[in-house]
């Protein structure tokens, strides 16, 4: 026992020396610094028990999944925050909650710090009061890589300010069918544009990972999640492997080249195999041919849903052991290793990847969040970048007789519909709550508020589209989709709550004011192109505003000509519901369907 203790002390001294050596190399040669990190990983691995290794491969929520003391007792490697009880009321409360968990991790024999992850997909969208940006589909319409990098950098700051060092973003899927409920999470149907913006997003999020205002990014979901047959979330992707390599892999190749810290597996199947258990693509292609050296993380309940030990053998390194999976996962994986189902070398590879990112983030030196960042949450500077993103995301599809830009001197302007004055509705899913909100939230501005701020005349809000106003100069009718996330938003899916067209109520808003002879400007709030051919024909002007986030006044700025329309369609726009009769919708690479407007279309004032 004395000999083992002495060996342990010597090894710990070696690790401490290596940590000091790494500090000396931070400003030096990156190759040398990477070599030091690899030495540190080898030293730690040599000290770890199987239980400690499996613990590092475990990700849990900060509530429900764990009991008091589990972080240390089960050697947990990562904690996530998702839908459910909040870590606290203020950002400082959130930091304190996660710092307390971090202290538990640091109290263990080896003192390996935790990774804290969050689905910050359009800003730190789980914290009310944060700056929320247009969802990725809007950023895709902007085609502005520098702006995307700024958005990601601000998201990183506000994520760190609330206690997180890891975000599950960006989504770099390439949607093939607007029936899919996650279209808005992706940038575009274009491989080239998605690749460009994926690079920018990862650069913005990660920056210099050793700095306290950057986070580890996650490219997701690997692979084919947006290209399933008929747009079914978690369905089958029947594309050929040649097509996958040509059109779906390039954004991931770019992500790896940019040093992305993590990649998340997707829910779909490919070639009849669950992507969580697809060894040829995860291990052979991604980790082998593409040399990805980061963490391959599962999605929700990946272990119990997609093959248990099979997903580890396929190359999954960290598992979301949530909703009751924790015990079964840790005990099941331990049994699989002791019985030879999973090789010890596969476990060591997974743990090495996790430790590598923790060292790259500097967590062994600085494991706690910076309280000084809290003041930056929702700051005027951050919100101005968000307004710029809103302005540049807007796509003008019609502008009859140049009705836009509107004059600020108009006598009476109507703003019609509940979407015109509701920040929750304008922000979509993943806004405070997983499925979004249908009411206003802290710190946001609405379309109505933006119009009231800029107009010199009377502005009337007709929330219910009553049509009781006949002498208005213009009616700005704001319509759209109520918020949704994931499979809840699939069109024709198991929830069956959404459709390709506007609701009858929203169509009536437009009909009412058109029949009264009032000029109509339609602003469409949606997470995807919708079949709105008739409404475009009816209106005098039609704007695709996507899901703008917290800064709705950015829309008003463009309507009044304070900025020009810059957005271009990131997706082909459908002409009819018949466009979705097959597996896929209209795409610029598929010439069999003629869209109403092609990819890249967008008018301007010039």
Which amino acids are annotated catalytic? 299, 486
| Sequence-separated (6 or more) residues with CB below 8 Å from residue 581 | none
The rounded distance, in Å, linking the Cα atoms of 591 and 533 is 20
Query: DSSP code of 178?
Result: T
User: Other CB atoms closer than 10 Å to residue 381's CB: what's the count?
Assistant: 9
DSSP alpha helix (H) spans, 124-229: 136-142, 145-161, 191-206
| Sequence-separated (6 or more) residues with CB below 8 Å from residue 410 | 455, 457, 473, 474
Q: What's the gap between Cα 328 and its chain centre?
A: 29
Name the CA dihedral angle for 40, 45, 51, 52, rounded to a multiple of 10 degrees.
-10
Inter-CA distances, 23 with 237, 357, 435, 469, Å: 46, 16, 43, 69
The rounded distance, in Å, linking the Cα atoms of 494 and 487 is 8
Give residue for tokens 């702006």: 147
| Sequence-separated (6 or more) residues with CB below 8 Å from residue 243 | none
The rounded distance, in Å, linking the Cα atoms of 310 and 319 is 12
Please check whether residue 174 is in contact with residue 247, taking contact to mean a CB–CB distance below 8 angstroms: yes
Question: Does residue 230 sit in helix, strand or coil?
Answer: helix
The rounded distance, in Å, linking the Cα atoms of 52 and 252 is 31
Please check whether residue 584 is in contact with residue 178, taking contact to mean a CB–CB distance below 8 angstroms: no
- The number of residues making up the chain comes to 606
Tokens of 258: 């940019």
- Residue of 364, 357, 198, 157 whose CA lies nearest to 262: 357
Query: DSSP code of 246?
Result: I
Query: DSSP code of 516?
Result: T
The rounded distance, in Å, linking the Cα atoms of 34 and 521 is 56
């Amino acid at each position: 026992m004395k000999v083992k203790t002495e060996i342990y002390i010597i090894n710990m001294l070696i690790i401490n020396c290596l940590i000091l050596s790494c500090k000396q190399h931070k400003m030096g040669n990156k190759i040398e610094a990477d070599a030091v990190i690899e030495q540190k990983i080898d030293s730690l691995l040599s000290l770890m028990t199987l239980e400690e290794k499996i613990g590092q491969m475990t990700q849990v929520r900060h509530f429900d999944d764990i009991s008091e003391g589990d972080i240390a007792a089960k050697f947990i490697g990562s904690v996530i925050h998702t839908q459910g009880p909040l870590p606290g009321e203020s950002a400082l409360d959130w930091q304190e909650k996660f710092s307390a968990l971090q202290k538990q991790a640091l109290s263990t024999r080896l003192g390996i710090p935790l990774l804290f992850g969050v689905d910050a997909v359009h800003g730190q969208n789980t914290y009310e009061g944060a700056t929320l940006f247009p969802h990725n589909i809007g950023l895709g319409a902007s085609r502005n890589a520098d702006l995307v990098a700024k958005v990601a950098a601000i998201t990183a700051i506000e994520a760190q300010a609330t206690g997180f060092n890891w975000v599950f973003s960006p989504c770099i899927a390439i949607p093939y069918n607007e029936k899919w409920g996650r279209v808005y999470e992706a940038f575009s149907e274009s491989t080239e544009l998605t690749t460009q913006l994926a690079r920018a997003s990862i650069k913005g999020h990660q920056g210099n990972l050793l700095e306290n205002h950057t986070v580890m990014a996650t490219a997701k979901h690997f692979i084919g999640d947006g290209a399933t047959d008929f747009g079914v979330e978690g369905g089958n992707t029947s594309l050929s492997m040649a097509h996958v390599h040509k059109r779906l892999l390039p954004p991931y190749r770019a992500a790896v080249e940019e040093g992305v810290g993590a990649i998340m597996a997707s829910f779909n199947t490919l070639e009849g195999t669950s992507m969580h258990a697809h060894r040829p693509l995860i291990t052979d292609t991604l980790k082998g041919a593409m040399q990805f050296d980061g963490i391959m993380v599962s999605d929700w309940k990946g272990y119990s849903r997609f093959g248990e030990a099979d997903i580890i053998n396929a190359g999954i390194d960290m598992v979301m052991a949530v909703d009751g999976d924790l015990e079964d996962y840790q005990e099941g994986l331990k049994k699989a290793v002791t019985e030879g189902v999973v090789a010890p070398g596969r476990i060591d590879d997974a743990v090495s990847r996790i430790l590598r990112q923790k060292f790259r983030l500097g967590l062994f030196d600085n494991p706690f969040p910076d309280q000084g960042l809290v003041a930056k949450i929702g700051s005027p500077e951050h919100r101005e970048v968000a307004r710029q993103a809103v302005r540049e995301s807007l796509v003008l599809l019609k502008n009859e007789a140049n009705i836009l830009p509107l004059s600020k001197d108009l006598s009476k302007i109507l703003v019609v519909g509940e979407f015109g004055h509701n920040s929750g509705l304008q922000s979509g899913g993943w806004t405070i709550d997983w499925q979004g909100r249908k009411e206003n939230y802290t710190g946001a501005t609405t379309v109505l508020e933006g119009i009231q701020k800029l107009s010199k005349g009377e502005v009337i809000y007709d929330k219910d589209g009553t049509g009781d106003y006949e002498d208005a100069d213009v009616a700005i009718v704001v319509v759209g989709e109520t918020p949704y996330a994931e499979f809840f938003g699939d069109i024709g899916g198991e929830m069956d709550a959404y459709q390709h067209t506007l609701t009858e109520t929203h169509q009536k808003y437009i009909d009412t004011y058109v029949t009264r002879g009032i000029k109509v400007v339609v602003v469409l709030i949606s997470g995807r192109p919708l079949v709105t051919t008739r409404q475009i024909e009816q209106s005098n002007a039609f704007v695709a505003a996507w899901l703008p986030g917290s800064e709705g006044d950015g829309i008003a700025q463009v309507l009044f000509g304070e900025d020009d329309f810059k957005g271009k369609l990131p997706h082909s726009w459908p002409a009819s519901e018949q466009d979705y009769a097959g597996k896929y919708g209209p795409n610029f690479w598929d010439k069999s369907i003629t869209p109403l407007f092609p990819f890249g279309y967008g008018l301007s004032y010039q």
